[in-house]
Structure 1
Amino acid sequence: MSEHTIDVNTRGLYRLTPLMLAAVRGQNDVFEHLHKEEADMTLTDGDGDHILSTACIGGNIDIVKYVVSKQPELINRNRNDGRTSLMWAAWHGRENIFGYLLRNGADHISMDNYGDNILHYASHGGHTGIVEKILAEAEIDIHSIDRWGRTALMEAADQGHKQVFDILVRKGSSISHEDKDGNNVLHVACGGGHVEMVEHILSRVKFDINCRGKDGATPLMIAARCGHRGVFDLLVGKGADTSLLDNMENNILHLASMEGHESM
């Protein structure tokens, strides 16, 4: 910087500026120095992320507070896919930042371009504290669905987050809900490949282990197609029918073969 040979707002990977990189890494001293050197706080990267959304990823509350004090209009500014800073904080488990943004006017009921809200994001990330805070303080319907008809409970099942799953069930989220493809939480969990999550669901709920989802696929077919051997073995051990066909007359061998899972 002292040589003045490089533009302080030079672009790098994903069109990130040095200031954005300092924010996303939570480097407060570097951030302050760059800003004193007139780094531009109004720029966005290739995805439309601005300095506040990158700071929420980094998790440094001091940077977040400074940005909000200088650019308060960024609190509810969306990036290209509709994601807000509050959603980033929920996904990354930045509980102190999440609470700070809520107290300072962050829109907590908005959705991104795919219909996901902050509860979907927090459940996807597996952050119990934020999930409980949302359910207690935000006006979010626990049964709200995204573009594909998925609930927050399905996000937790897909990612294998048992604690979040249990919180949502305890608060009344429907285990029997099906998305727009006809998949339920068992199908989703098998697609995610988390053995403990699948076992947890089967222990809690009386599911038909051969229930049909998208294209008539059973949970076992989904495990075969995705190459999740642990889930496959668990389902077989629980009595899943290995001889069934989907709506296109594919069996489990067809499905494993078409996706190239050699060991499966």
Structure 2
Amino acid sequence: MLLKKETSISFQIRDGRTLLDIAVKANHYAVVRTLLEKGADVKGRFQNQSIKSHLTAQNELPLAVASRLGFASIVECLLDFGANVNEKGLPCLPNSVGFRADCPVLAIAAYMGHYEVVDRLLSRKADINATDGSCRTPLSLAARKGHGRIVQLLLQQDADTELSDSKDGGTPLAFAAACGHHQVVGLLLEKGANIEAKDFESKAVIFHAIHARSSESLRLLLNWGADTNVALSGETPLFYAIRHTNVEAVDLLVRYGARISMKNKFGELPLQYARDQLAHPTNGFNVESHQLHRTKCEEIIRRLESATVEHNQHLGMATKPTLKSRAQKTLVQLIKR
């Protein structure tokens, strides 16, 4: 009945929302389409630029709302009626630009895990590498959340794997490793993501996997050739794993060639450092966590002691031929005399 009056199309309730805004948020496809056919502005209340500059969840662009909520059919409908496929909405994550409309709808859908919405936006030629206010791409946001199918879809359409955000310099691979999403780590490595990329703190991806305690991610990185002896503030991944009492990481790193003879910036060997960690635990432990810390340190020490014995035996075997050859050379010289 309301739609019989042309002026009713742009009717706003007290908080400023239009009928289209309400219908989109309620996922009423038929109502949304009817309103648009009757001339409703596809931007909802966004004709007012002062409102757009002070964006809130109540007055976000209809396309951004539908993308955030995963309403693929409504997204398609809004696009059919002229919505900008590269329009922006509220940021998915906190950043320095506050609550301005700075996050592309593709990035919103990717972050929220709405595969069908991402697929439809891409089919309408959405900018696959469009960034939010902190230079985060749809790929980096999907990787951070572990949305494997969406990551795969973006990679199939050649999303850039090396674009880093402006907040900490992390790449999609770093985000996936830091959040323990080993399946996404695998997808990115298969696509050729830079395994040695570093963030603004010079932290390589391998450190993120160790910190996340993701043995699966760490194993993948090591299998793909991650440098086990890359330095971060004077310590290698092995020292980093010891400091975080990550027993599995220590074991993996040693097995994949981490140098147990390499010293940190204080001149300590890994085994010495582990013993120091046991003798001087971090303050603030309660009784239970202190015992757990002690147990992990002791296990790390055992594994490093075993690795040290094997290392020394290997060195001994390597020197035997040299000693033998010297003895033979001496014998030959004596005979010649």
| TM-score, length basis structure 2 | 0.56
CA displacement at 1:10 relative to structure 2: 4.3
Determine if the alignment matches structure 1 residue 216 to structure 2 residue 234.
yes
Determine if the alignment matches structure 1 residue 102 to structure 2 residue 122.
yes
In 1: Cα distance, 2:124 partner to 2:19 partner: 27
Aligned twin of 1:68: 79
Determine if the alignment matches structure 1 residue 146 to structure 2 residue 156.
no
Q: Alignment partner of 2:248: what SS?
A: helix
In 2: Cα distance, 1:62 partner to 1:51 partner: 13
CA displacement at 1:41 relative to structure 2: 3.1
Aligned twin of 2:61: 50
Q: Map Cα deviations across residues 82-122 of structure 1 (whole Å, 9 max, x no partner).
A: 21110011122222111211233423232222222122122
Report if the CA contact (8 A) 1:126-1:156 is conserved.
yes
Which consecutive residues of structure 2, in runs of 5 or more, have no partner in the other structure?
1-11, 47-54, 91-99, 294-337
CA displacement at 1:47 relative to structure 2: 9.9
Question: Which has more radius of gyration?
Answer: 2
Determine if the alignment matches structure 1 residue 28 to structure 2 residue 27.
yes
Determine if the alignment matches structure 1 residue 235 to structure 2 residue 249.
yes
In 1: Cα distance, 2:68 partner to 2:19 partner: 15
In 1: Cα distance, 2:14 partner to 2:240 partner: 47
In 2: Cα distance, 1:18 partner to 1:261 partner: 56
CA displacement at 1:194 relative to structure 2: 2.7
| TM-score, length basis structure 1 | 0.68
Cα pair distance change 1:72/1:255, threshold 3 Å: farther
Aligned twin of 1:41: 44
Q: Map Cα deviations across residues 226-252 of structure 1 (whole Å, 9 max, x no partner).
A: x7x6xx1213434487x97668x9985
Cα pair distance change 1:19/1:186, threshold 3 Å: farther
CA displacement at 1:151 relative to structure 2: 1.7
In 1: Cα distance, 2:126 partner to 2:104 partner: 9
Letter in structure 2 aligned against 1:28: N
Identity of paired residues, percent?
24
Aligned twin of 2:282: 257
Between the two proteins, the alignment pairs up a number of residues equal to 240
Cα pair distance change 1:56/1:217, threshold 3 Å: farther
Report if the CA contact (8 A) 1:76-1:107 is conserved.
no
In 1: Cα distance, 2:234 partner to 2:280 partner: 12
Cα pair distance change 1:236/1:128, threshold 3 Å: closer
Aligned twin of 2:187: 167
Letter in structure 2 aligned against 1:111: T
Report if the CA contact (8 A) 2:18-2:45 is conserved.
no
Report if the CA contact (8 A) 1:224-1:255 is conserved.
no
Give runs of aligned pairs for residues 72-221 of structure 1, distance below 5 A. 72-73=83-84, 75-79=86-90, 80=100, 82-138=102-158, 140-147=159-166, 148-205=168-225, 207-208=227-228, 211-213=230-232, 215-219=233-237
